[in-house]
Structures are given as C-alpha cells and as structure tokens.
Amino acid sequence: MYCIRIPLRVLFLFVFALASAQQSPPNIILMIGDGTGLSQITAGMYDNGNTSNYEEFPTIGLQKTHSDNALVTDSAASGTAMACGVKTLNGVVGIDANNMAQPSILERCDEAGYTTGLIATSSIVHATPASFYAKVISRKQYQDIALQLSESQVDYFIGGGKKHFTKRKDDRNLIDEMTDWTIVSSLRKFNNADSPRIGLFTHDDEPAPIAQGRKPKLNEAVDSMLDKLTTSERPFFLMVEGSQIDWGGHANDLDYVLTEFADFNKAIGRAIAFVKENPNTLLVVTADHETGGLGLSGGNIKTFTPRGGFVTLGHTASMVPVFAMGKGAASFAGIYENTAIFDKMLAVLQQEENSDN
Ligand code: MG
Ligand code: ZN
C-alpha cells in the first residue's frame, strides 16, 4: 500500500499546483480612445513617423457601435455597452433599454476580489468613465454621477471634475464624506499617498487639451496607477480613457486629434510594457465610436504629415477597431457588437476555456 500512496500524493500535489496556477485570475486593462476610428489611428500613426504602439498587438477585431435607438451612438450608450454588456438609448449610463440598472465589468471584478481603477483625460464623471460605476438616465446628471462615484467600489481614480463633488445643489461636500479615500490634487501626492483608496482630481472642471499643457500626461498617470494597483496581491481591473481625441473630432481640428492621440499612444506603450512583465494580464485597446467622419485625403509622404477633412461635427456609425494582447486576447478577433467587449472580458475574468489564449 505504501508504494502506491506516495505517487498518489505527488500526483495530487501536482494537480493541485496546476489547478491553483490556472485559477490565478488575470488583470484586465481596457483602454478607450474616445472617438478614435481607423482614420484617427492612421493619421496618428503617420504623424508619429509611420509607427504606433497599436502595431504591437497580435489580435485585432472590429466592433459595431450602434446604440439601441440610433445607428450613430453617443459615448454614454457605447460606454454602457462595453462596460455593462447591454445596448441602451443614447445619453443613458449603466441602465438598459428596459430601464434596468446593469452591473458593470468593474463591479463584477470588484465582486471577484479585484482592485479597481479609472483614469480619464476628461472629468471622471463624464459619460465614458461613468459607465463603469454609475446608473443614471442622463449623462448630464453630473452631480448624481459624482455621488454614485463617492459610494462606488472604485479604489483609485485620476480625472477632472472636482466641482461636481464640492459645489453642489444639495450643499454636500462629497470629498468630506469620502472618508475611506485620500483625495489629492497632484500626481506627486497620488504617488506618495499611502491609502488603499486614492482619488486624484486633475482639474476642478474639464481638463485642458494636452497641447495647452494638461498635467499629468496620460502615460505618467497610467504608470502611477499601475504602481498603486499592484501594491496588493489582488488582481486588478483598470479602465483608461483618452477622452479628448473625441473633442478634437467634434472641433473638426486634426491637430487637436493628433496631439491627443500622441498622448494616448504613449499611454498604450506603458500598458504594453506592463503586459510584457505581467503576462497574466489582458490588455484591450479600442474606441467607443468614431468622431467627425475623418477622411485622410492627402499629405506629405516625405514627412508623413497627413491631411484630412471631416464630414460631421458629431459621431459616425463606422465600426471601430479592437486591439488585444495577453491573457484571453485571441477571443477579441472577428466582428461583433460593442456589448461583446463586456462578454469577452467577463469570460476572461471567469477564466472560461474558450477565452484562453
Ligand atoms: Mg468619453
Ligand atoms: Zn463625442
């Protein structure tokens, strides 16, 4: 009997070790370039000397961005689709077309024991980041969204919009009420804060364009955020938004698009370096929709300077590309609805077999 028991025990330990290695849940980083369609990426790539960090990704897909009630989505409906996995009406955050509030991937990750973080180069209560923690009928309910962030499961955030927490119709000062958090006003203070929950307000209102000296740069914010998210042994979910590529599109201002793209592209580079050091991480880079109907009609081949024109001051219905690398990345190939971004991230979170890469 003795000669059988030892191999069985060794076998058991081996299987147990294998199982627990497989059960270590992956980090998830979702980066959204608001309004960043294929023309924005192409223009940004040429403007960067015919190269971009997007070229590092082994898996590329396309997502359909239409909302429940319009071929041309807004950032609330498309943010909700990716964050919560449901189509909804334009302008609605975190609530589906049947008026049911839906849990977001950030909230699902939190339930699974993850640490969570959000970064935006807009205010942190803007539609895209709000889709990950808020449930409101209108994206313009900034004070309600701020209240919901103060009561959310978000552990770390970096973004503008402090005034929605401090200058309120209900006379509450949410920052005073956020006793679990350390709220700071510079990246240096964010780095130095020793708290399990930290919020950095980069601006009182909407942050300035990067061309006008916005601080911090997005890659620096991502760097500091990754430092905080990896202080615990727990896996993390992080959403990073390059918010103002969209605003350049709305302004039909190609220089605005290019400078914001360059800021976002550098941040992608920082995230890629993290995935290379931490292979149990899924990195997805995409957009919520295209903005402006940008067409590249010419330019200078010697300097790779693109020239372009826009067909609208609003968004367009073009599909937008999805780039993935790391754990579960292969499932992001193909053409699918924007709601599938949520489904695929959830499958990676739950480590379903078909999501294994
Ligand atoms: Mg946005
Ligand atoms: Zn927009």
Using CB atoms within 10 Å of the CB of residue 175, give its burial: 0 to 12 exposed, 13 to 18 middle, 19+ buried: middle
Selection from 185, 204, 104, 120 nearest residue 152 by Cα: 104
Whether the Cβ atoms of residue 255 and residue 44 lie closer than 8 Å to each other? no
SS3 356: coil
Q: Which residues of 308-324 are buried (b: 16+ CB within 10 A; e: fewer)?
A: bebeeeebbebbbbbbb
* Residue 234 backbone phi and psi in degrees, to 5: -75, 150
Question: Domain for residue 8, yes or no?
Answer: no
Question: Domain for residue 1, yes or no?
Answer: no
Q: What is the pLDDT of residue 1?
A: 43
Question: Domain for residue 90, yes or no?
Answer: yes
C-alpha 113 to ligand 1 mean position (Å): 27
Q: What is the pLDDT of residue 164?
A: 98
C-alpha 120 to ligand 2 mean position (Å): 14
Question: Domain for residue 175, yes or no?
Answer: yes
Among all ligands shown, which has an atom nearest to the Cα of 33? 1
Q: What is the pLDDT of residue 303?
A: 96
Whether the Cβ atoms of residue 72 and residue 317 lie closer than 8 Å to each other? yes
Q: Which residues of 329-344 are buried (b: 16+ CB within 10 A; e: fewer)?
A: bebbeeebebbbbbeb
Using one digit for the tens of pLDDT, what is the confidence trace for 234-253?
A: 999 999 999 999 999 999 99
* Whole-number Cα distances in Å, 314 to 63, 144, 317: 19, 26, 10
Question: Domain for residue 26, yes or no?
Answer: no
Question: Domain for residue 25, yes or no?
Answer: no
The CATH number that applies at residue 139 is: 3.40.720.10
Interstrand relation of 290-291 and 315-316 (parallel, antiparallel or unpaired) = antiparallel
* pLDDT band for position 8 (cuts 50, 70, 90): low
Checking if the pLDDT of 201 tops 90, the result is: yes
C-alpha 2 to ligand 2 mean position (Å): 71
* pLDDT band for position 7 (cuts 50, 70, 90): low
C-alpha 126 to ligand 2 mean position (Å): 11
State the average pLDDT for the chain.
Answer: 94
C-alpha 247 to ligand 2 mean position (Å): 6
Among all ligands shown, which has an atom nearest to the Cα of 244? 1
**CA terminus-to-terminus distance, the chain:** 41
Question: Domain for residue 17, yes or no?
Answer: no
Question: Domain for residue 5, yes or no?
Answer: no
Among all ligands shown, which has an atom nearest to the Cα of 249? 2
Q: Which of 61-75, 268-282, 342-356 has the lowest mean pLDDT?
A: 342-356
Using one digit for the tens of pLDDT, what is the confidence trace for 113-158?
A: 999 999 999 999 999 999 999 999 999 999 999 999 999 999 999 9
* pLDDT band for position 356 (cuts 50, 70, 90): very low
- Please list the active-site residues: 75
C-alpha 35 to ligand 2 mean position (Å): 6
Which range marks the domain in which residue 312 is found? 31-355
* pLDDT band for position 352 (cuts 50, 70, 90): confident
Question: What is the rounded (10 degree) CA torsion for 68, 73, 79, 84?
Answer: 10
Whether the Cβ atoms of residue 162 and residue 198 lie closer than 8 Å to each other? no
Q: What is the pLDDT of residue 357?
A: 42
SS (H, E, C) 200-256: EECCCCCCCCHHHCCCCCHHHHHHHHHHHHCCCCCCEEEEEEECCHHHHHHCCCHHH
C-alpha 133 to ligand 1 mean position (Å): 14
Whether the Cβ atoms of residue 210 and residue 259 lie closer than 8 Å to each other? yes
C-alpha 227 to ligand 2 mean position (Å): 30
The model carries a pTM of 0.93
Neighbouring residues of 311: CB distance < 8 A, sequence distance ≥ 6: 292, 293, 295
Q: What is the pLDDT of residue 24?
A: 82
Among all ligands shown, which has an atom nearest to the Cα of 126? 1
Count of domains observed in the chain: 1
Q: What is the pLDDT of residue 290?
A: 98
Using one digit for the tens of pLDDT, what is the confidence trace for 255-282?
A: 999 999 999 999 999 999 999 999 999 9
